Structure 1
Amino acid sequence: MSEKDCDKESCSALELLDFKNALKQFQKLVEKMVTQKTKERLGLYIKDDDEIDYDKFYTTTQTLFGAEVKDHNIKTFFRKISNNLDARTEWCEIFGYFIGESDAMSSQMKEENMVFLVSEKQQITHAVVKRQDVLKGIVKVPHLDFTITSSQKGVLTIFNNQGDQTAINDTAWITGCDFLPQLKCVVAVTERTVIVWDYKSKGSQNNCFVIKPMENGLLCVCTVTMSDHLAKDNILMGDDKGYVHLLTVTSDHFGLKQSKSKGKKESQLQVLDSKTFNIVKRKLHDDWVVKIKYISDLNCFGSCSSDSIHSFVLDDIKRLEDNLPVKEFSVPKGVNAFTYCGKAKVIVTGGKYWGVFQEIVLL
């Protein structure tokens, strides 16, 4: 055997060894990602510098295997794990090779992503959703990987990669919904009530709490995300008389700790008197409050109305408890929607005039 042949064999052996080491590191990356996603869905994950998002997964995979790995294969592999943590994966998939029939991957992806998949359009039908119904709220909860929807005719639903579960099929119109991060419950508002759903209770242990009566018709709701109290959430609501309400709820109000410990507790809809809750309100608009949102980057809440004078309010939630002036903006015909861009430090509002948008620059 010539010296040249020996060099070739040595190089091949080294390349094989490097590839095996890369596979081991890739397997550890996948295992760490699955562990992280599992904790996220259980609400136990605390973000740190080692968090694996798509960008980090992509960069690490490219570093391990180089240009042989294509972008779309990395994205497909990442999406497959994200949507089904129990899915079987093979290392060859990262190179675009799949074991089985040619359409196995497509079929598998359709089964594993029962609700939402970016690369596919899919119509979602549900037996409980009523004819001529309208969705009034859609809230994505990224760290738990599910989406909450509320419909006008009283259907409150969670969609996730395991299917869907419906909590309420009521006669009252649900006008909005959100997620309570501390209590880990779903909150929704109707014309005269506030609903808190302990979605974590399975089957016969499903618990819904109805807080009533509320003075005016509630039109929108959001959660205040600044609370660091592990058993307390603050809820902002807007009504049809121009009032903004601040409702504070704790686990003691609903007996969540007790209900979790009783495994044989039957399904129930518990009615709670609104007078037993700490609710403050202040009239900020002269017309319906059509949207409310807490902007954590600004430590402020925003509310908007079709009122031409008090169209948009942006201030600290402490202003709801006193009579000090609030920061407000006037827009002809009012404001129907708004959103905040953190990078540009700009709030964009949309009103009734077609094609007219207004920017509020925050210095």
Structure 2
Amino acid sequence: MKKVKFLIPAFALVALTFAGCSDDDGGDDQPVVTKLALADPAQAALTFVATSPEAQVIALDTDASTVTVEQVLAEGESKAEWCVVTIQSASQIKVAPANNLTTAVRTAKYRISAGTVTPVEFTVTQDFPEPVDATLSIDLEGEYGYFFTAPAAGGDVTVTTVTTNAHLWTAELDPGYGDEPYCTLKTASGGSGDALVVTFLPNTQGMMQSGASVTVSAGNAEPITIYISQDAPLATSVTIYDADWANVLTSPYGVNFAKDEFSSAKKQEFGVEANGECSVKVVAVGTETEVTDAWIESYYGRGAWVIYAVSENKTGAERKLDVILVGENDKELFRMKVTQAGV
């Protein structure tokens, strides 16, 4: 009988030991989350209309029993009180924005998390209502109309930036006269802050091209018309004629004025045949150094080169300056040697 008394407590202790191990192994086990993704990847970017938006439900592909959702805030960004996000289940999240009564699109970004798997994110973008009174402006000076001149080289040229409170602005090009338009629209529409870009062909005409215009419209705002020109290419060669276009002149060519022969009424004019645009410089004799306070006035335009003295010569001695016509790369194309008598 004594042996039995000792054996019973021993068996009981062993039984308790095994029971305790069984509880420890299984009592704290939790299901491990192995996947979390949007069932439809397109739902990573939800869009809503401005007024009376219908709620959308995001479907999740996950084996999680619970998920959490939080808004991802950029620095300085406020919580999107206008958007209500509700977890309906571990696999469904409801997104319901309020009416957008502002004048701008609004957005919010959210992150869905479960366990230790990589979170997934989605964005909410809500449109704004079309304004009753649309506004429209551009960043060109336009006291007497809007004008823009593109470079002769052509290419895609930003004409202006368009600002509007409407959803979109649209542009329409009038190519003007001529058989072949020298420009086309690169951007026919855009949102506020977008650039109006026009594509120009290289100008090989030897003169400025003009006549085209672009009209920009937005909502019920007053449309804006921009008149578009294109610079002539810079000249690489010129032929200079006398005032009657009868004789070809050779560089350098001498131009003389009497001491009291001055003002535009006493100008001397020369014909210019150039394969591009030219500019005029008044320089010291025999140099290319420009003179800032010159007694000569000279300008070029529309095939004519004009030179005249601006004052009477009271120095008692003749005075001299050169006037040069320059083209591409500031290259000298022709030189006039101008003298005003002193007596």
- TM-score, normalising length: structure 1: 0.20
Larger Rg: 2
Structure (1/2) with the larger helix percentage: 1
